[in-house]
Amino acid sequence: MTGSENPAEKSPEAGFRPRPLHLFALSALAVAQPLFDLLSRGATFFVEHDFSPPALLLFVALLLLLPLPLVLLVAALRRASPRTARGLHLAGVALFVTLLAAQVLGRRLDAAAVVAAGALLAGAAGAAAYRRWDGVRQFTSLLALALVAVPL
């Protein structure tokens, strides 16, 4: 090893830092899109509850901004405890991947325990892959397009 090599550069966390947009993108796919899909099938919900156009836009914005408290907490912790901030960010990634996996598995399997176990495993694996591989983080950056596509 030469003097210019830094062992930290080869660690899984070397290229990892919390990316707020990723939490918004994953939330849009795991939470907002399924709700928009459900509500679009029963669009009378908005008529029955007398939603005005501004109220509808606010509803869409609130769903898309759902991870904002988590993003703000990660940002606040970033200076005081970068490790805690990264851990909290990864917990958010794991949560949204778990929710997404639960939806996919729930359509294919009947056993709730199997769906829950599979979704938790997928969430943990997804967060580990996100932390370890830059390609996964780059793909998650592409998912940010969901913030525009999901409400359409």
Q: What is the pLDDT along the chain (152 residues), one digit of tens a residue?
A: 444 444 444 454 555 666 899 999 999 999 999 988 888 887 787 788 888 888 888 988 999 999 999 999 999 998 899 999 999 999 999 999 999 999 999 999 989 999 999 999 999 999 999 999 999 999 999 998 878 887 77
The token duo for 71 is 């993003």
The pTM of the full predicted model, rounded to 2 decimals, is 0.81
The span from the CA of 141 to the CA of 86, in Å, is 17
The span from the CA of 149 to the CA of 101, in Å, is 20
The span from the CA of 3 to the CA of 43, in Å, is 64
The span from the CA of 91 to the CA of 43, in Å, is 34
Q: What are the structural domain ranges in the chain?
A: 18-34+50-149
Per-residue confidence (pLDDT) for residue 16, from 0 to 100: 62
